[in-house]
């Protein structure tokens, strides 16, 4: 896809096929009128190819920005701090515009997310990006995005020895205005303006993985009369039943291309006792 010219396997080759397919009738008519108009037809076809190439690049850019945004929100959900920081540009124009203040540059992002601290087991900051609208700038190397990010925040509370872990729980409705920049062919976050129009605090009502799996592990995992017995019974060492487990994503980091750190975080967890 790097070479714009050549066979149909390249971008230029693919776009040329599309363009010529749509222009074949016009080309046939032009050729029938003689050589005097052949140059004009060639110029028209070249313009068509260039326009299609530009549109294809815009589609690919929007897809890449969407992928970056979804990944960023996933990393924020579990406060995977190194991965979060890697989503940002190296430009000195990087800016986090938060309610509590502003952080400048990539070092400001690092300071805010504080990579030296690991969030406590059970912490979640789920943000579901929706209604995303991305606008590419004419230069093709910068863009803006508008997103809603509704989700839940769960924070472990201090507990004494032997006491059951308690959590503060809330829902929030946030809005992002984000700037993106392409660096060395890769889209990154340049700035985030974040506001929270409202939130809802919850005193009770959330159940944890252990609340779901514990009774099943203790008393069976199905009703034989209903034909619901599984083909493979529950694994008592399955960490999906443990608060704090991160279900790994299937892709590598969209900026660095490196595997992300779910396994390190999951290594802190222990299976529940039936």
User: Does a structural domain hold residue 273?
Assistant: no
Q: Does the residue 28 lie in any domain? A: no
pLDDT of residue 9: 57
H helix runs in the chain, sequence order: 11-32, 38-77, 81-86, 105-113, 209-219, 262-266
Domain count, the chain: 1
DSSP state letter for 75: H
- Nearest partner of 74 among 243, 251, 209, 195, judged by Cα: 251
- Of 118-127, 215-224, 242-251, the range with the lowest mean pLDDT is 215-224
Q: Assess whether pLDDT exceeds 50 at residue 128.
A: yes
Q: Is residue 18 part of a domain?
A: no
Kindly state the helix (H) or strand (E) to which residue 145 belongs, with its residue range. strand 142-156
Is residue 51's pLDDT more than 70? yes
Mean pLDDT (the chain) is 81
Evaluate whether 154 touches 244 at the Cβ level (below 8 Å): no
| CATH code, domain with 238 | 3.10.450.50
Per-residue pLDDT band for 189 (boundaries 50, 70, 90) equals very high
Per-residue model confidence (pLDDT) at position 2? 47
Average pLDDT of the segment spanning 204-221: 72
Q: What is the pLDDT of residues 138-149, one digit of tens each?
A: 999 999 999 998
Domain assignment of residue 26, yes or no = no
- Give percent above pLDDT 70 in the chain: 78
Residue 124 vs residue 222, higher pLDDT: 124
Residue-wise pLDDT tens digits, 223-249: 555 456 766 777 888 888 888 888 888
Domain region containing 169: 54-266
Q: Does residue 180 surpass a pLDDT of 70? A: yes
Residue 253 pLDDT: 93
Residue 84 counted as domain residue = yes
Query: d(Cα 96, Cα 106) in Å, to the nearest integer?
Result: 9
Rounded mean pLDDT of 55-60? Answer: 93
pLDDT for 97 equals: 94
pTM above 0.75, yes or no: no
| Of 128 and 228, more confident | 128
Residue 251 lies in a domain: yes
User: Within a domain: residue 257?
Assistant: yes
- 143 versus 209: the higher-pLDDT residue is 143
Specify if 92 maps to a domain: yes
Mean pLDDT score, 40-63: 86
Q: Is the dihedral of CA 52, 54, 55, 61 positive or negative?
A: positive
């Amino acid at each position: 896809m790097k070479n714009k010219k050549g066979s149909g396997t390249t971008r230029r080759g693919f776009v040329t096929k599309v363009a010529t397919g749509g222009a074949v009738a016009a080309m046939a008519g032009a050729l029938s009128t003689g050589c005097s108009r052949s140059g004009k037809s060639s110029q028209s076809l070249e313009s068509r190819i260039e326009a299609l190439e530009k549109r294809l690049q815009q589609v690919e850019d929007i897809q890449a920005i969407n992928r970056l945004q979804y990944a960023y929100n996933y990393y924020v959900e579990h406060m995977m701090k190194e991965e979060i920081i890697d989503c940002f540009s190296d430009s000195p124009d990087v800016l986090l515009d938060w309610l509590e203040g502003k952080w400048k540059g990539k070092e400001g992002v690092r300071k805010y997310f504080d990579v030296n601290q690991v969030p406590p087991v059970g912490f979640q900051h789920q943000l579901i990006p929706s209604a995303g609208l991305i606008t590419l700038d004419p230069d093709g190397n910068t863009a803006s995005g508008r997103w809603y990010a509704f989700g839940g925040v769960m924070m472990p509370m201090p507990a004494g020895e032997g006491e059951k872990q308690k959590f503060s729980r809330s829902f929030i409705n946030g809005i992002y205005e984000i700037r993106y920049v392409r660096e060395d062919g890769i889209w990154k976050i340049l700035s985030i303006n974040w506001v929270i129009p409202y939130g809802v605090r919850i005193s009770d009502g959330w159940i944890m993985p252990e609340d779901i799996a514990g009774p099943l592990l203790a008393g069976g995992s199905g009703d034989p009369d209903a034909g619901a017995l599984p083909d493979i019974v529950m694994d008592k060492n399955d960490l999906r039943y443990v608060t704090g487990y991160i279900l790994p994503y299937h892709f590598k980091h969209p900026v660095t291309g490196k595997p992300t750190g779910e396994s390190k975080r999951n290594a802190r967890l222990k299976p529940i006792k039936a």
